[in-house]
Amino acid sequence: MLREARTESLLPISPPAARPKRPAAEVRKPKKKLIRRASGDSSQRLRRLAQMAFLLLNVWIGAEFYLWVRGFETGKPVSFPRPAGVDGWLPISGLMNLKAWLATGHIPSVHPAAMFLLLSFLGIAFLLRKAFCSWLCPIGTFSEWLWRAGKKLFRRNFALPRWLDLPLRGLKYLLLGLFVAAVAAMPVAAIREFMHSPFGLIADVKMLNFFRHISETALVVIGALAAGSLLVKNFWCRYLCPYGGLLGLLSLLSPVSIRRNEDRCIDCAKCAKACPSSLPVDRLLSVHSAECTACLQCVAACPAEGALELSIAPLPGARRAGWRLPAWVVAVGVAAIFLGVVGYAKFSGHWQTNLPAPVYQQLVPSADQATHPMP
């Protein structure tokens, strides 16, 4: 027994089994200390004020235009001129006039405001990303109200699966391509002929009549789009709006974008949850998506000081980082571009469509009978 015990004591002791190393993906990042913002965020209050101001402006223009049309329909024309701002609802006319102006250097005389309003929105997209959609567009405002109402009603918003979301997002670019291709194929002479035809002259009246005498089919389509917007954030804007598609493509050239500071970011992902365009803001250093509308909801949701901000990209080779753009700069910038372009058009005498009252008296009451001049 003693010999056996002595023998066992002389046996080499095997080292303990080594613990398997955890995969790198399972290693948790050290939790960063949250440095809370020194001051509150006012971006959404400013944005909602801009939305309401532009919505009220459109309501005012719409009411004036309705009274103007009713004046000619009843044979009692009103004393005020046609509100040219209604041309903002004629984007195709604006696109055709823009081509005619670029080709000839002469500003068209029919619906010129449509071209200038289009230019102002393009300018906003280039300098401040797709801010028109989230700061000014009345349809974008209604769309936001709908998905927020849907969130309260269903306690959440829904997201389409990626295999369906991606091709649906392409629809607005397909529609945009069809419109751009049609306008690009039109010679300037054909554009002038169209714009000076009875259909082109009162395209705004026909648009009003579409809603005044709306068909059951149109009501069903609008109802379906509204229902989709209750469930999915910005359903129309995300999948079908060709105007937004155009502004989004131009915004890719913008020097402005949402930028994330990795050192100050605490990886809470609140920014991504707040983004109405479902962009992975928490995983990007800079957001360069055509879907970004510069709504600043991600910035408003971020609790960390200096972790997320809208800023101008630094110049190549520059030592300092880009310049931060607070919300008030975006609000002032959007207003300055819009009012600057509209002001130039008015003071240069290229805002109104100057048609004699007898022409309108002949065309407006029979607007529904005006047919499209193109085959």
What element of type H or E holds 259?
strand 256-260
Residue range 225-241: mean pLDDT, rounded: 97
Give pLDDT tens digits for 99-148: 999 999 999 999 999 999 999 999 999 999 999 999 999 999 999 999 99
352 falls within a domain: no
14 falls within a domain: no
Residue 35 pLDDT: 79
224 falls within a domain: yes
Domain count for the chain, please give it: 1
pTM of the model: 0.89
Domain that holds residue 189: 43-65+85-254+328-343
Give pLDDT tens digits for 310-340: 999 876 655 555 689 999 999 999 999 999 9
10 falls within a domain: no
Cβ(130)–Cβ(292) under 8 Å? yes
Cβ(304)–Cβ(314) under 8 Å? no
29 falls within a domain: no
pLDDT bin (cut points 50, 70, 90) of residue 65 is very high
Residue range 145-153: mean pLDDT, rounded: 97
229 falls within a domain: yes
123 falls within a domain: yes
- DSSP state, 258? E
Residue 36 pLDDT: 85
110 falls within a domain: yes
Residue 318 pLDDT: 52
